[in-house]
Structure 1
């Protein structure tokens, strides 16, 4: 895989009946250039996220292993989210609007790695401040950029 990659992240939240307000389950999709490297049997992807209406960015580092996905954010938001199949992980999520206690209960996770791309699919339940908020999916496609 090349150092320069294109990252596509799609996320979908299915709100629980208790948390549902209106019926908006719109997928969120981001496509951005990113940097890739491989170290200690783990894949790393680093990219900056611009937040609409706010000065500054969020630096994202994604660490992928066969059985674990980690998303580390720093800058406007700070957190270290961990996804492991059949496990609940809890972390502090610092936002410009205050801190949240976020739990992720990973129900299913698939990682598919080839020389040219990495595909990650995660299905998890999201808890905020000990209350189940939504069932969620994350799909990441990391593709090597062709160099001429």
Structure 2
């Protein structure tokens, strides 16, 4: 099964957690670049969706940006706000187009998710995304994003 969400029934949730984000970019030549960020963040459950919110760092190149992820039963929405702004929706097999806005300008960005795997419950869990990415009309490669949430 490529997409599975474990949603706990019951009360809303709000707590501080340890968030690990590992991103791997593979360009058209097969060259890989991986970064990993470990930071404190906030974890919420409300209206049948899980939310993960954390601040980016200099390591990710997005210092001054807050990232939030919303996991629903059939998709994951990534929002970045601050120094860089972007909204992308990851729903397996569905192209999503958005704008990537930075202080240097805006670029049209498009993703085609190949993998959307969500395993979250009230104690934490993971989100794993695999997707092709294009900017403008140029395919940049394949990205993998793995987000893990653990109680402190």
- Shared fold (TM-score, shorter chain, > 0.5): yes
- For the pair 1:95 / 2:102, whether they are aligned, the reply is yes
How far apart, in 2, do the equivalents of 1:76 and 1:41 lie? 30
2:144 equivalent in structure 1: 137
How far apart, in 1, do the equivalents of 2:20 and 2:70 lie? 15
How far apart, in 2, do the equivalents of 1:51 and 1:97 lie? 17
2:33 equivalent in structure 1: 26
> Which secondary structure does the structure 2 equivalent of 1:27 belong to?
strand
- For the pair 1:14 / 2:35, whether they are aligned, the reply is no
How far apart, in 1, do the equivalents of 2:52 and 2:120 lie? 13
Gaps of 5+ in 2: 1-12
Task: Describe how 1:1-148 pairs up with structure 2 within 5 A.
Answer: 3-17=15-29, 23=31, 25-51=32-58, 57-145=64-152
> Which secondary structure does the structure 1 equivalent of 2:33 belong to?
coil
Contact 2:129 2:144 survives alignment (8 Å):
yes
* TM-score in terms of structure 2 length: 0.84
Matched length: 139
Contact 1:2 1:144 survives alignment (8 Å):
no
Contact 2:133 2:139 survives alignment (8 Å):
yes
Contact 1:51 1:58 survives alignment (8 Å):
no
* TM-score in terms of structure 1 length: 0.86
Residues 32-63 of structure 1 deviation map (CA, whole Å, 9 limit, x = unaligned)? 100111111111111112336x9x61011111
Query: After TM superposition, what 4+ stretches of structure 1 lie above 4 angstroms from structure 2?
Result: none
Gaps of 5+ in 1: none
Cα offset, 1:26, TM superposition: 2.4
